[in-house]
């Protein structure tokens, strides 16, 4: 075996070892998170109910949400070749939120397909917002940073205003629910819903990882993509659908949890490099861990009150976003 091949095999083995470590860390984190917090010890059945029917489903939802947002953020940053691209900042989460709100308020959630229609509403809203932002920000075939941010902020503001306008016409209790949901609030759900969300995430994750080599080519430039016989515009449209689908699932489960897709890919890039075959995997694991522990902190630090997890993620990532924005402006 020559030296280059040996180095390649060593790198592959090391990477699969890192994936195994990530799975172990994620499993241990779930076990620790579900046991953190006050639990009444007077009755074993009560403890089992809290752990298996409240905390474990909530931890699984947090993992799915963080996984989807971390993966979508890495995908959008690579696809747009823009370090500030992220589902929340680009208004895609806002579009998904509007879709879910319309689905819920207009009674599209029939009892026997309750899981289905909110996801369809979120996916339609996310995809529609993505298309609008893409068209608004494109200037002579380029996607300037300022145009992307401005278009995303405007779409988010419009979608949020429509959601609030629809909400205030409802009863006060529903207003409170929607307000928490818009801030990014993770709640335990039934296991069948978690299973459906997990299958949805697996399908779009597999498609994203399959396209990782093509994403690497796009980073090198559109000429490289053309030389390989691929159409960059067609690839972007496909990736827009992938990212919108992942974002839609997270919004349908937990509302608008912001900035996860921004900070996680940057942190993982420092660890695994810019090869998207590795970066996409690392961003998915990193996002899952970030949201899981942010939600755990939101649940226990201010007990008996809870802070929506979206507030914590925004507090953590907001300063980082401002620093990254300033760094981008200086480079330009």
The reported pLDDT for the residue numbered 331 is: 61
Each residue's pLDDT expressed in tens, for the chain with a length of 332 residues: 444 344 444 466 766 777 788 899 999 999 999 988 776 655 677 777 888 888 999 999 999 999 999 999 999 988 888 777 888 878 888 898 888 888 777 655 444 444 456 777 888 888 888 888 888 877 776 666 677 778 888 888 898 888 888 877 776 666 676 777 778 888 888 888 899 889 999 999 999 989 888 888 888 777 777 777 777 777 887 888 899 889 988 988 888 888 898 889 988 888 888 888 889 999 999 999 999 999 998 888 877 778 888 888 888 777 776 776 666 666 65
CB 122 within 8 A of CB 99: yes
Q: What is the DSSP string of 74-104?
A: HHHHHHHT-TT--TTTTTHHHHHHHHHHHHH
CA distance 42 to 44: 7
**Residue 259: its pLDDT value, please?**
84
CATH code, 222:
1.10.3470.10
Going by the DSSP 8-state scheme, the letter that residue 113 receives in this structure is G
Q: Give the pLDDT score at 148.
A: 74
Q: Is 287 exposed, middle or buried (0-12, 13-18, 19+ CB in 10 A)?
A: buried
Question: What pLDDT, on a 0 to 100 scale, did the predictor assign at position 112?
Answer: 45
Q: Which of 103, 65, 83 is nearest to 310 (CA)?
A: 65
Q: What φ, ψ does residue 139 adopt, rounded to 5°?
A: -130, 110
What three-state secondary structure class fits 301? coil
What's the pLDDT tens digit per position in 310-321? 888 888 777 776
* Six token digits for residue 220: 């090198």
Query: Cis ω on the peptide bond leading into residue 304 (within 30° of 0)?
Result: yes
Q: Is 259 helix (H, G, I), strand (E, B) or coil?
A: coil
By residue range, what is the domain housing residue 321? 3-331
> What's the total number of domains in the chain?
1
Radius of gyration of the chain (CA): 20
Query: What is the Cα–Cα distance from 192 to 115, expressed in whole angstroms?
Result: 9
pLDDT at residue 81, as a whole number: 80
Task: Give the separation between CA 311 and CA 97, rounded to whole angstroms.
Answer: 17
Cα–Cα dist 14/65, whole Å: 27
């Amino acid at each position: 075996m020559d030296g280059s091949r040996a180095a390649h095999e060593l790198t592959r083995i090391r990477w699969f070892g890192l994936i195994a470590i990530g799975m172990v860390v994620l499993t241990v984190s779930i076990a620790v998170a579900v046991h953190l917090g006050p639990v009444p010890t007077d009755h074993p059945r009560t403890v089992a109910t809290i752990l298996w029917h409240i905390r474990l489903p909530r931890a699984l939802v947090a993992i799915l949400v963080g996984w989807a947002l971390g993966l979508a953020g890495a995908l959008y940053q690579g696809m747009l070749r823009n370090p500030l691209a992220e589902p929340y900042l680009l208004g895609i989460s806002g579009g998904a939120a509007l879709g879910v709100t319309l689905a819920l308020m207009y009674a599209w959630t029939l009892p026997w397909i309750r899981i289905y229609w909110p996801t369809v509403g979120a996916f339609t809203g996310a995809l529609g917002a993505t298309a609008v932002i893409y068209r608004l920000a494109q200037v002579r075939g380029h996607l300037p940073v300022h145009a992307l941010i401005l278009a995303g902020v405007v779409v988010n503001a419009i979608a949020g205003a429509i959601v609030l306008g629809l909400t205030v016409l409802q009863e006060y209790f529903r207003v409170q629910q929607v307000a928490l949901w818009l801030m990014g609030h993770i709640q335990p759900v039934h296991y069948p819903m978690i299973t459906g969300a997990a299958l949805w995430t697996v399908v779009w994750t597999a498609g994203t990882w399959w396209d990782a080599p093509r994403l690497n080519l796009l980073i090198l430039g559109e000429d490289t993509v053309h030389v390989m016989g691929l159409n960059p515009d067609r690839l972007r449209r496909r990736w827009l659908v992938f990212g919108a689908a992942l974002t839609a699932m997270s919004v349908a489960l937990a509302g608008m949890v912001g900035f996860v897709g921004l900070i996680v890919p940057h942190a993982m890039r420092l660890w695994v490099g810019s090869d998207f075959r590795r970066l996409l995997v690392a961003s998915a694991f990193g996002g899952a861990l970030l949201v899981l522990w942010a939600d755990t902190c939101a649940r226990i630090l201010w007990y008996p009150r809870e802070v929506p997890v979206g507030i914590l993620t925004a507090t953590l990532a907001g300063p980082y976003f401002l620093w990254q924005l300033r760094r981008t402006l200086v480079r330009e």
